[in-house]
Structure 1
């Protein structure tokens, strides 16, 4: 009788199983490992102050990364989110300080400062979507336009000056608390819950995944692919605008040179580490939340143990490469 060697297929199956496990649970395992390491090594890690710092720092990353997840799910990318944060953060103080038009009613001024900048950022998101859908410009190129010009717009708006302010009503979105929970964490939770519901329970969510999976097939099935793409860029822009408001409210100042700087990288890293394919066709909202937590925990761990912040950039890059590699290998089987 001739024996059949099954060692090769068996080994391949084992590797496949390991890659699938890493793809599904690797981010959670990394997060738990970071927590365990900090409990053992980092002083005062289990204090409320440490939890508060990490939650407030991760909130804006998550908010922006949720929008990025929706964009990437359609097969796109949005490099403009950091610059849109700068525009939103520059515009808000100008509104309630009366730098554009004096507003006699303080409550109205704050209300406008909390809404108009996000609407403006959403409008810029629509501009990104139009470049992509109407003029067939590649997403990375189309959003690169505002990545470069957007921060310049914010700097021109403020003449490059730091806007310092103290407005408790406006700053409540960052410094306020509801039942002891930071307001910005509540905003983050609402954004995550809304996006999770959108993807899992609505027709639009299914259309987003369909467009990213196979745009041509989606169009043939009657899905308005261009409209769906424009909408996700509008959502991404609006969420970036909200994140910009939180950042300037938290800092009691608006600096167009720094607000949102590098946020596009953090958002993309959170999405990749969280398990959403960068090629589109998948949107793991809870994974993005966990990925953002990993990114923040890496930064906190390095800083708390005396490692320069610049080292976090190297670790982020390594995490993205590892996440993409594992996803690709797991999908190829």
Structure 2
């Protein structure tokens, strides 16, 4: 007797289309925006336009990289914009001798590069301490500095615009290396280091484990408290670097405006880039691509006469769509 085996026809798993969109949607949107602008927007395919978009997106990518690490642990950081303001306020104060006179120009530049970043990192540690020691929800803990941080920067400067010019310091924003803007190089280095850390180091694996299931991670011996505090320190430090780039680019520091709304742009880049907002995953390259999509959407609308208010609405729509696709894809 011959036995004939039959195999049921393979059907596409439910939700596989959404999973595909979740994986490649950001790249498709990026390419579509480039194609649209190449066809419609005047002077889009020029080095000047490329330079404008790269310099505008650099600070978003830097802050969003830190945000990705925080979100990967199941947290959120609403304080990054305010920490940019604090960092951006400190650097000119060091140059102008507002805090104390510094006789050596070299020492002033060194302190202007390091002190603001260290202070921003310390505030990041404060966020992590509130979350880990006092069990305050991340959105509430970081809301403290979201509100108070900008107030601290405004008090430091008396709410005044600080105008300064120092070519050595401003090289981080206005300089070029082999024709490439320095801030873009800084962005690329930070992204590369973060991607390496997530994929190749024990800390990266611990971070994802904490975000995936903190209780199980603790039982496995992972120092969850130390991991969570460190990601907030990194997020704070990167916000500090971004703040320095902004004030160096503008040749002035305005505590009322530096970093304003940056937390929303960073979260948007993370969401659009495919990192799950529930934690347990960190797609650094996706965040990079997501930031470029956010920037190109805004550029496309403004270049074609659409008001900035409409760009914000579209940005909000992108976040909603990204989160919806992630949730549906996760449910299968």
TM-score interval for Structure 1 and Structure 2 normalised by the shorter chain:
over 0.9
SS of the aligned residue for 2:42 comes to: coil
1:50 is matched with 49
Runs (5+) with no aligned partner, structure 1: 1-5
Alpha-carbon distance in 1 for matches of 2:13, 2:206: 35
Counterpart of 1:255 in structure 2 is 254
Tell me the SS of whatever aligns to 1:78: coil
Q: State the partner residue of 1:3.
A: none
Correspondence for 2:287: 288
Partner residue, 1:86:
85
Q: C-alpha distance in 1, partners of 2:135/2:16?
A: 39
Corresponding residue for 1:33? Answer: 32
Q: Please name the residue that 2:325 is paired with.
A: 326
What are the superposed Cα offsets for residues 150-198 of structure 1, whole Å, 9 maximum, x if unpaired? Answer: 0000000000000011111110000000111000000000000000000
Residue number in structure 2 paired with 1:131: 130
Q: How does 1:147-158 map to 2 (within 5 A)?
A: 147-158=146-157
Partner of 2:307: 308
Residue equivalent to 1:243: 242
- For residues 259-314 of structure 1, the C-alpha deviation after alignment (integer angstroms, 9 at most, x for no partner) is 00000000000000000000000000000000000000000001100001111111
Aligned residue number for residue 177 of structure 1: 176
Q: Partner of 2:200 in structure 1?
A: 201
Can you list the C-alpha shifts for 1:10-60, whole angstroms capped at 9, x where unaligned? Answer: 4xx365221111000000000000000000000000110000000000000
- Residue 97 (structure 2) aligns with: 98
2:218 aligns with 219
Structure 1 stretches (4+) deviating beyond 4 angstroms? none
In terms of mean alpha carbon deviation, does 102-111 or 77-86 score higher?
102-111
**Using the alignment, how far apart are the partners of 1:87 and 1:208 within structure 2?**
27
Q: For residues 14 and 41 of structure 1, what CA distance do their matches in structure 2 show?
A: 38
Give the 3-state SS of the residue equivalent to 1:102 in structure 2: coil
Q: CA shift at 1:256, angstroms?
A: 0.2
Q: TM-score, normalised by structure 2?
A: 0.96
TM-aligned CA deviation for residue 88 of structure 1: 0.1
Matched, 1:65 2:64: yes
Moved more, 104-113 or 211-220: 104-113
Distance of 1:166 and 1:226 partners within structure 2: 42
Partner residue in 1 for 2:5: none
Q: C-alpha displacement at 1:199, in angstroms?
A: 0.2
**Whole-Å Cα distance in 1 between the matches of residues 321 and 137 of structure 2?**
25
Deviation at 1:64, TM superposition (A): 0.1
Q: What is the CA distance between 1:98 and its match in structure 2?
A: 1.0
2:171 is equivalent to residue 163 of structure 1? no
How far apart are the structure 2 equivalents of 1:311 and 1:52? 24
